[in-house]
């Protein structure tokens, strides 16, 4: 059991966990007024050499809701539609 916990911790150090990823995105958005969640994710992926195609696996439910709010506000999605982000 101990080896499994150590392996998990080592994995999370090397690779981003969804919670760590969401915390970093939240931090970026809160520190910069000109940055929305969608832009923050692309910027974070670029800065950390993460393939943008892997980002959906790192997005938490809460972060997904905030991205959807940004997309609606930026008119990427219609407010009253049943449109959903493919995340």
Task: Parse the chain into domains and list their residue ranges.
Answer: 2-73
Q: What is the pLDDT at residue 14?
A: 53
54 confidence band (pLDDT: 50, 70, 90) = confident
Burial of 64 (0-12, 13-18, 19+ CB in 10 A): middle
The pLDDT value recorded for residue 57 is: 87
Q: Does the pLDDT at position 69 exceed 60?
A: yes
| φ, ψ of residue 63 in degrees (nearest 5) | -65, -40
37 C-beta neighbours (distance < 10 Å), count = 22
Place of tokens 């969640």: 37
* The model's pTM: 0.70
């Amino acid at each position: 059991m101990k080896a499994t916990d150590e392996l998990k911790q080592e994995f999370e150090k090397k690779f981003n966990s969804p919670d760590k990823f969401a915390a970093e995105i939240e931090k970026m958005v809160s520190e910069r007024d000109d940055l929305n969640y969608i832009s923050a994710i692309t910027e974070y992926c670029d800065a950390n050499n993460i393939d943008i195609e892997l980002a959906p696996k790192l997005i938490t439910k809460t972060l997904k809701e905030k991205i959807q709010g940004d997309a609606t506000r930026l008119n990427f999605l219609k407010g009253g539609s049943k449109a959903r982000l493919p995340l």
